[in-house]
Amino acid sequence: MLTSSFIDFTGRVAVVTGAASGIGKATALGLARHGADVVGADINDAGLDDTLNAIRALGRKAAGVHCDVSKPADVNALFETVDREFGQVDILLNDPAVVARFKPEDLALEDWQRVLDVCLTGYFLCAQAAGKRMIKQGKGGAIVNVSSIAGSSALGRGNFAYSTAKGAINQFTRELAIEWARHKIRVNAVQPCQVMTPIVKKWFEDPATDLNSLLPRLLSGIPLNRLAEAEDIANPILFLASDAAAMITGAILPVDGGNLALNAGGSLIW
């Protein structure tokens, strides 16, 4: 983990969506280790409770809200909790994701819409709610969106809706960064490669997945030759949310073991 002398969130309140597991959980715990109080949101209540208990064990304040970010009423309830419990928001992590893995010709409209509702509209609803409060507070803030290498490089493998949403998140990040720069609100994104999150683990454990074929193909696109762990993504998020990145906004940061550099036109031969 990054050292506390380099990054300090003392006195700040962070809202972390997708906090029950994976990147969201790792980031929530990292924020707490560096002094932030955290409001976590997720639809996985048991996982969220585990995260909140771990934050409290670190000596930080924590609150949690059952929240489907695609539902405006849930997002309103989330930020009403922020207002009531803490009275401020300084950092937002937009992290929720849902995958509908189908060939484009077989993708049902409801599955397409669900991916966009969570992976794009949900990010907008949370960013808008946080941004309004940050503007009113008048002291700036930091928003970090979790995008994906899928937002810059086509993945295939039935990721059509997901990749489309992540490409939109990249431009969403740039536009918000420019719109809110005058309010000293920085907006950035990270682009992970495949991360060993519950979604990926479920994919690997699916009987229909030929892991013996899939894993070597995935690793062949990652020059560092391993999948990422959640903490590998959380650390750059902490940096982007911190004062150490005070001059960075509108950045789309690959955290991908070299995948996008490779896909710029090279091929990997071991």
Each residue's pLDDT tens digit, 76-125: 999 999 999 999 999 999 998 887 778 889 999 999 999 999 999 999 99
How long a stretch of residues is the chain? Answer: 270
pTM of the model: 0.92
Interval 36-46 mean pLDDT:
98
Residue 148 and residue 179: Cα distance in Å, rounded?
Answer: 23
Contact 195, 236 (CB under 8 A): no
Give the neighbor-by-neighbor strand order of the sheet with 37-42. 62-66, 37-42, 13-17, 91-94, 141-146, 185-192, 252-255
Residue 219 and residue 148: Cα distance in Å, rounded?
Answer: 16
- pLDDT digit string (tens) for 209-221? 888 887 888 788 8
29 exposed, middle or buried (CB, 10 Å; 0-12, 13-18, 19+)? buried
The CATH number of the domain covering residues in 13-197+229-253: 3.40.50.720
Interval 203-228 mean pLDDT:
86
Amino acid 269 reads I
> Model confidence at 5, in pLDDT bands (50, 70, 90)?
low
For the question of residue 123 being annotated catalytic, the response is no
DSSP 228: B
- Options 79, 160, 162, 172, the catalytic residue: 162
Q: Show the tokens assigned to 152.
A: 């810059």
The residues pairing with 188 across neighbouring beta strands, listed in sequence order, are 144
